[in-house]
Amino acid sequence: METLLFFHGGPGLNSNSEQQILTEDYKSRGLAFKGWNEPSSLRGTFNSDFPGTRFEQLLDSAEKFLFNNYNGRPVYLMGHSLGCQTVARLLQKHSDKIKAVFMSAPCFHIFEADKNIFTFVQKDYEDHGDTIVSEKMKQIISSFSESFDSNIQTGWELALQNPRTFNYYWNNKSSQVSYFSHATTPEYSIDAESFLEVRKSFADIELFACDKKTIIFYSEKDPVITPEKEKAVITKHFSKLAIYNTDASSHYPHIEETEKILNIIARETNQNNS
C-alpha cells in the first residue's frame, strides 16, 4: 500500500470531507489516503505560543505531517487550490521523501483568485437585488491591490456573508452537498478567524525548478482560478509535468470527478512503482 498525503486549500478549511469521501476509493486502488488539517482553534490544534506567524505555523504543521507519515519510503503528495503552494514548499525542501506530486485546481496566483471570487460575488449580489452590497463589492474591486489590506479583507467578509458564494466553486451539486455534509460539526466547519490570520501573514512560496513528476488537474469551468496564468507558472518550474483538463467539474475536480482523477492517479503511481 502506497501513501498519499492530501493538503487542503483555504486557508480556514480542513481535509475531513476528502478523508470521508475518498479514503475507501483510494484504498481500493492500493493507496492509503491521509488528509492533513491546518492548525485551528476549532480543533484545539492552534498553538498560541508558536514563535512565528500563522502562515509559518501552517507550513510547520504540514512539514510535521509529512515527517510523521514518512517511514523511509517516499510518499505521494496531493494538494488542492492554495494547498498546492504548501505541497510545492514541501517538495522543494524534502524532495527525497516524495515520489510524485498531484495538484487539483492549483492556485499560485492567490490575488488573481481573490479578484475572480469578488467579481462573481458582486454579480451574484446584483442579480439578487442587493444593490448596496453589490456597489460595495464594485468599489472593492476598483481599489484592488495585490496585498491583503483592509480592502481585500472587507471583500472577503462580504463574500463569506453571501450564502451562495460556494455554489460557484462547484459544477456537480451532488458532490457539493456530499462535501459539505462532512463539514457540519464545529471542528470541521470553516474557520474564518484562521482564514483571515493566515492570509494576513501569507507569503507566496518561492518556486524553484523541480524535476519531480507533477500531475495537474484543471477545469476550464473553474471561476476561482485563471487556468492559463496558473499553467504559465507551473510549466516554468516543473519540468516533468502532465496536465489533465477536466470537463465535468469546477474548483473541486478531485471530488467532482473522483473516478476519473483516481484512474489517472492509479495509473501514474503504478508507473512510478514499476
What residues pair up with 101 in beta bridges, in sequence order?
A: 77, 214
**Average pLDDT rounded to a whole number, residues 228-246:** 89
- pLDDT tens digits, residue range 83-141? 999 999 999 899 999 999 999 999 999 999 999 999 999 999 999 999 999 999 999 99
Domain that holds residue 121: 112-167
> Per-residue pLDDT for 31 more than 50?
yes
Task: Write the CATH number for 20.
Answer: 3.40.50.1820
> Per-residue pLDDT for 55 more than 70?
yes
- Domain identity same for 147 and 92: no
- pLDDT tens digits, residue range 3-19? 999 999 999 999 999 99
2 falls in which pLDDT band (50, 70, 90)? very high
> Per-residue pLDDT for 78 more than 90?
yes
- Domain identity same for 54 and 102: yes
pLDDT of residue 99: 95
**Average pLDDT rounded to a whole number, residues 145-172:** 95
Angle at CA of residue 20, ends 247 and 34, nearest 5°? 90
272 falls in which pLDDT band (50, 70, 90)? low
pLDDT of residue 274: 44
Q: Amino acid letter at 257?
A: E
**Average pLDDT rounded to a whole number, residues 68-92:** 95
- Domain identity same for 83 and 189: yes
- Domain identity same for 102 and 20: yes
- Domain identity same for 102 and 215: yes
Rounded to an integer, what distance in angstroms lies between the CA atom of residue 100 and that of residue 30? 16
- Domain identity same for 90 and 75: yes
- Domain identity same for 13 and 62: yes
C-alpha cell belonging to residue 117: 471570487
Q: Considering the chain, what percentage of its residues have pLDDT values greater than 70? A: 99
- Domain identity same for 190 and 255: yes
pLDDT of residue 271: 56
DSSP SS3 for 241:
strand
Mean pLDDT score across all residues of the chain: 94
- Domain identity same for 128 and 227: no
> Per-residue pLDDT for 273 more than 90?
no
- Domain identity same for 124 and 151: yes
The least confident of 36-40, 73-77, 211-215, 253-257 is 211-215
- Domain identity same for 163 and 234: no
When divided into structural domains, the chain yields a total of 2
- Domain identity same for 116 and 191: no
